[in-house]
Each structure stands twice: as C-alpha cells, then as structure tokens.
Structure 1
C-alpha cells in the first residue's frame, strides 16, 4: 500500500513526492531540544537539516494558528497536533516501505506543514467552505434553494485501516446543520459551528446500531474540523 493512499485525499501529488532538495538551510534546527530526543522520528529530524526545517516550520505555523483561533478551537488544534505527533512517531517505526522511513517521514512533515499553512484564520461565518483535520476533509456548498450539500471523507492517517466517504444534504438552522442521505441509512450528521471550528457528531438511528455505513472498520467522520482556504 502506498502512503499517498493513506493520507487524506486533499494531499496534493506534489506534497506526496519525496524531495528534500531545497527545503532548508543547512543550519536549520528543529522546534525541540535534540538532547532530549526520544523517538526514532525525533532523532531522525535532529540528524537531517531539511527535516529539522520542516519541523520548525510546522511549530511556527502551529503557534501562529493557536494564537489566532478562539480558545475552544485552539484546544481542538492542540489535540489534532498531538495526534499528528503520535502518528508521525508510529509511522516512522512502522513505515509502509521499511527501507524508506526517512522519505515517509518527510512526506508526513510536508503534508502537515501544508495543512497548517492552508488554515483560514480570517473570520468565517456559516458553514460553506472547506474544513480539514488530520484524518479528513469536509466541503460544504450552499444551493440556491438554501440547502447545503455536504461531501466528507476521512481515513485512519497511519495504516489506513478504515476510511469514510459520504455525500449528503441538509438545511442550516442558526449555528446547526443536520445532513443525511439514502447512503447514511438512518444515520444523521449533526454539524455545529463552534468558535472558528466546525464540530461534527454522528447520530445513529437507534440503540444497538452498528458503525456508520459510510465508514468501514469502526471509522468515523466525527470531530472538530478547521477552516482552510
């Protein structure tokens, strides 16, 4: 399985091609103290100036975003960043190609850096637009009749053991939006604007329901998504 099939679909092809030719100056330092590096990924970053530059860029963009977002969304971004760090470390220990852990690490760092650079930190009202987190992306369009079209996809960001895809529609009321379709088989996606973010909750049709039919292997489209340009 190729890594580009595991990363969210929004990962552009250019980001998924390993290249460290001109990403950093040789003296680049990572965002953490290399004397305290514990994981294999951290040690690899400390040993490679290009990877160190990517790590430093990620930290800088993350700090800027946290300062710009409201407190609730900033806390959600903190959780998303911690999840990224865990996936980064786990994937370095168990890369898809055991002979190319550095290449995979570089791809993941580039993708995260691009995600943070794509965050739309200007005030956004309503639901329409693109929203993303580490696992997936949501796009919302408003139709002339007022209905909102929903397109969402997600995948487990390390192994890809589960994925989700759904298209649905609904109508917004105040800061809430309920979307459903034939494919959701009674499941409803409840969306709510919370601060700068978009919170998605999955509502099963009844007690004892199995996982959502638009996901496999216990996948989920729930969580906080962040506005991107």
Structure 2
C-alpha cells in the first residue's frame, strides 16, 4: 500500500460519520435503510467504502467500512433523520480486535443526502443533490454480501441500557415476550431479527415469501418452547442463544441468490448441499434435525439428472425407493419427498419418526473452511 493511500485512509477514518446538525428540508423520498457501496480508483488501486444502515422511523444506526489492498477498517455510528439528510452523533467507535474503541470526532461536519437511487456523502458546503461530488462519495445500493456487514446486536455501543425489542413491552403477554423485555441484549437481538426478516420479505414474493414466513413461525415456536422448558435460572441464557442463532441464520441468507439449484440452501431445521459432478448429475446431501432436542434426525445423499429448475434425486442404484424433488421457485428451493411412483410420501425414509426434509430452503454462502 502506497504512502499516499495510507494518508487517504487516515483522512477517511477521521472523516467517517461524525455529522453536525443539518437544516430542515422536505421529507426524504425513500429510506436510507440497506447496504451501500462507493468505489473509485486511486493510484491504480480500487478503493471501496461500504455503508450498512438500519433505519427505524427517524432513528438510524450504521457501520462505515473501507477496503483497499490488504487493509481496511469499520466504524459504528448512530444518528437520526433531520429533513432530507442524516445527522449523526459526533461520537462513534472503531471496531478493534476485542471491542469497538471510541474514536475522535471529525472537526468538519459531513452529511448523507438521499439523491434518487444514491446516497451522497457530502460536506457542509453541499446542500442539495445538484452539488458536484467525487465518485468515491456516491453510494449505490448493493447486496449485503458485497460489503463487510456487522451484527449490530453484538456491540454494546448500540445499547442504551433499555430494552428495545421489535414489539411494545407495555403489551408483552407471553413468558418469552416478558423475558425479552427484561434483557436489553435479548431485546436488541430480537429487534435485529425482525429488521432482517423484514428486509428479506421485501425481496421474496409469492410462495417463497410464504415459505420464509413458515420458517419464521417455526423458529418462534421452538424459541418459546426452549425458553419455557429451560430451568428458571437458565432461561435468559437459552433465550439469548435462540435469538443469536436465528439472527445469524437470517443474516447469512442471500438476497440475490445465484441461478439454478447448485449451492448451499438452508432453513431453520437443516440444509442442503447441491453440487454437479463430472457426469452432469446433481448430487444432493441433506441434513436436518429437530431444532429443540434432536428427537429426529435426517440424513440423505441422493443424486439425479434434471434441469436448473427441477431435479428428482434418489439414492444411488435405488430406482424403486424414495426421492427428493428439488424445484427452484423464485429465490428459494422447494423440496418434497416422493415415493417410488412420484407421489408425496407422508413418512420419510431419510429421517427419524416425524422428521422430514420437506420444505423451503434459502441460499446462503458455503461455510468457511
């Protein structure tokens, strides 16, 4: 990395969101919510900055990250909408090896403007979208896997010591709801789950969206049972584990999955690994288990031929046995277990009693080695 690039990095870190108050303008035409990226070439290198913003009403929390060569950094910040611009608190933090360290606020105010399909990161001298800005300050919406996303619920920086779940604690009725409201950390994760779930539902439609709703309802059923079945002294720990696990699952789901069937597909109970071998066959490995106590386990290794939209796969050499039918529908894969005649099979041959691989699966990146 050149000395000039290091100087640019230092300047950007000092200028990272530490925004002064902005004057009122007309209400913004669209949300700031989402993941954004701005890239430019500097001395032959591609310099990219990412913004991850979560907007809830007028409140916004976010992460700003930059990457060049083998270096980079991530800042966290909080703020709010003021007219058509974003005003951030002067205080922020820089994510370090162990925690988010407080950072020195920038002396010069900066702002985010919502300009059509872009976000413009500007100084105080630019008061409208007509102002000229550098290409590296024009942020365009990108998929979450294009930038280094942050699990906001993992950082106390966003915790004010109060419970802020996805629902009104004054109306909490169930034991789980009361447990979430009693724990600010659990409340923060519950809110993050609801936010990510809503993001995904905006992308999905039709039957896949209904499949995601069913998957979320299944998680909530298991979450409630895990909490109520736990010993009273362990309930807070169990609840946090359930919520943390679900958020990580939702956060890994790809909003823009690759085409076809090949890939890693998961739901709350398990997952599928779909590959193609040298013969052109689809090879499918499926694993699942009851999420609460493992009372049933599924294990399947089948293969078959088909298209990018549909494959019927059976165990090798077993042409009379059960099969998995995999169908790509929209942004998800629908799996059905079939008998030898191709009819839906009520009792699974791949799972223990009451288990099944039937259901909707959603693409996620392959696990890291």
Q: Please say whether Structure 1 and Structure 2 have the same fold, judged by a TM-score greater than 0.5.
A: yes
Deviation at 1:61, TM superposition (A): 0.3
Greater per-residue helix proportion: 1
How far residue 23 of structure 1 moved from its aligned partner, in angstroms, is 8.3
Distance 2:305 2:157 in 1: 44
Aligned partners of 1:129 and 1:139 also within 8 Å: yes
Matched length: 208
Cα distance between partner residues in 2 of 1:23 and 1:51: 15
Residue in 1 that maps onto 2:188? 53
Aligned to 1:163: 297
Q: Does 1:109 align with 2:224?
A: no
The structural deviation recorded for 1:210 is 7.7
Offset of residue 22 of structure 1: 4.3
Secondary structure of 1:173's aligned partner = coil
Q: Is the 8 A contact 2:163 2:181 kept in 1?
A: no
For residues 122-165 of structure 1, the C-alpha deviation after alignment (integer angstroms, 9 at most, x for no partner) is: 14211111111111111111112211111111111122211101
Q: Does 1:215 align with 2:351?
A: yes
Max radius of gyration: which structure?
2
- Secondary structure in structure 1 of the residue aligned to 2:271: strand
C-alpha change, 1:210 and 1:56, in structure 2 (3 Å) is: closer
> 1:23·1:53 contact (CA, 8 Å) conserved in 2?
no
Q: State the secondary structure of the residue aligned to 2:306.
A: strand
Task: Note if contact 2:297-2:352 (Cα within 8 Å) is conserved in structure 1.
Answer: yes
| CA distance 1:23–1:48, shift in 2 (3 Å) | farther
Considering fraction of residues, name the structure with more strand.
Answer: 2
Deviation at 1:167, TM superposition (A): 1.0
> Which residue of 2 is the match for residue 203 of structure 1?
338
* Distance in structure 2 (CA, Å) of the matches to 1:135 and 1:43: 26
* CA-atom RMSD in angstroms: 2.2
Gaps of 5+ in 2: 1-153
Which residue of 155, 159, 165 maps to 1:30? 165
Q: CA separation in 1, counterparts of 2:242 and 2:157? A: 14
Write the distance in 2 (CA, Å) between the matches of 1:183 and 1:65.
39
Taking structure 1 as reference, are residues 53 and 213 closer, same or farther at Cα in structure 2, changes over 3 Å only? same
